[in-house]
Amino acid sequence: MTDRFVYLDHAATTPVRQSVVKAMEPYFTDKYGNASSPYSIGRESRAALDKSRDAIAEGLGVDSREIIFTAGATESIINSIIGAYLGNRHRGNHILTSSIEHPAVHAVLDFLKEKMDAETELVDVDSNGILKLDELESKLRDDTVLVSVMNVNNEVGSIQDIKAVVGMCEERGIMVHSDCVQSIGKMPLDLADLGVDLSCMSGHKFGGPKGIGVMYVRQGTHLEPICEGSQEFGFRAGTENVAGIVGMAVAFDEAVKGQAEHEVLHARYKQQLFEIIRDAEPAAEINGDLETCIPATLSVWLPGCSGEMLVLALDRANVAVSTGSACHTGAIDPSHVLTAMGMGRLEALGSIRISMGHTTSQEDIDRFGEVFAGVYEQVKVSAG
Ligand code: PLP
């Protein structure tokens, strides 16, 4: 009998829901019309697209015209940040972001700095991965055009006070972009209430397919379309991915409906997971604070251990978790999130991330409990 596969890396991607596969299927077979075509199967695709857009807009508390479909959050981030910069270049060239953003945000800002004369600055976080709001305020300038701060961090799950960020920026006429990729299905989210100008989400993070996402552009936001065309209100050229959009809308609906229940379950599982780890390694510590992190994500430091080796050893026991560190050309870099939280290189490299989602069950946690101590012991012994 093969061991149960335990998937605890939902922050990386999620299994596609069966309902999503079922809803998408007709758009690959019978309903293959181009949503811009005037005849019946084209109109059918257009209707499905409109319905999906309305459902997602309603779930986020915003207007349908503010929802732009893209090929994922990375594309949304590129279009939002470059578009906001170009559309407001006359007002200044200064952009602020947190030190713990997803690499997609940092990469766009590096591009703007190198190629388009932007001045970019990072704002620090505290040891729990929470943005230092006073530092943000002190760094705002007359020529600041954009502030980009993620809602929930993908490595430790820390939740930022986006309303406070918006409050500071609004009175100075500065736009706010907030990456909400890790929020959907994991905490309540109302974009209109947050008050941000720009945001993004990604279908594959909540049980939808990969390669489909949303860019949220609040009405009245001045954005230069960098992928201009006739589709998606002029913000995103290209034939729409109708199957992906339909699938993402179904996944979104289920994620939002199940959110409260999952939040309670994940909080319980998180506690159990940490106890299992603590039993094996009494010196283990949580990176971040339980109070200010979403329940679905648990980042743990195991002193003296290699996170990379532990992830590989757990994989051999059929358990999937992640390190959060990036591997470039054979050298392993410590996570920029953990180092920004003040951890040293070795501490950051000795951490693992466990993340839960809609399929996570008590059986998964129990199985994790059965294998963890043995696997951890092996890793410690082999590391000498
Ligand atoms: N932002 C965050 C916080 C993420 O976790 C991810 C995915 O890893 C992305 C952006 C990029 O999303 P996508 O895979 O849709 O490009």
What residues line ligand 1, using a CB cutoff of 6 Å? 72-74, 102, 104, 150, 154, 179, 181-182, 202, 213
The conformation of residue 62, written as its DSSP 8-state character, comes to S
Smallest CA-to-CA distance from 227 within 237, 239, 242 is with 237
Q: Which whole-number Å values give the CA distances from 323 to 288, 332, 354, in the listed order?
A: 15, 11, 9
Distance of CA 44 from the midpoint of ligand 1 (Å): 30
Other beta carbons less than 10 A from residue 304's beta carbon: 11
pLDDT tens per residue across span 205-235:
999 999 999 999 999 999 999 999 899 999 9
CA of 212 to the centre of ligand 1 (A): 11
Q: What is the pLDDT of residue 28?
A: 97
Q: Which atom of ligand 1 is nearest to the CA of 213?
A: 15
How do residues 331-376 score in pLDDT, each as one tens digit? 678 999 999 999 999 999 999 999 999 999 999 999 999 999 999 9
Q: What is the DSSP letter of 377?
A: H
169 part of the active site? no
In this prediction, residues 191-206 reach a mean pLDDT of 97
The rounded mean pLDDT for the chain is 96
Start-to-end CA distance of the chain, whole Å, equals 32
> To test ligand 1's pocket by mutation, which of 9, 74, 148 has the most ligand atoms within 8 angstroms of CB?
74
What is the mean pLDDT of the segment spanning 168-190? 97
Give the number of residues written for the chain. Answer: 384
- Residue 1 pLDDT exceeds 60: no
| CA nearest ligand 1 atom 10, residue | 73
Cα of 210 from ligand 1 centre, angstroms: 11
Query: Which is the catalytic residue, given 180, 200, 305, 327?
Result: 327
Model pLDDT, residue 383: 75
Q: Give me the mean pLDDT over the 110-114 stretch.
A: 98
CA pair distance 274, 190, nearest whole angstrom: 30
| Alpha carbons 118 and 87: distance in angstroms, whole number | 13
Q: Please give the Cα distance from 82 to 143 (Å, whole number).
A: 16
DSSP classification of residue 341: T
- Band (329; pLDDT cuts 50, 70, 90): low
Q: Identify the band that residue 91 occupies on the pLDDT scale cut at 50, 70 and 90.
A: very high
CA–centroid distance, 260 to ligand 1, in Å, is 23
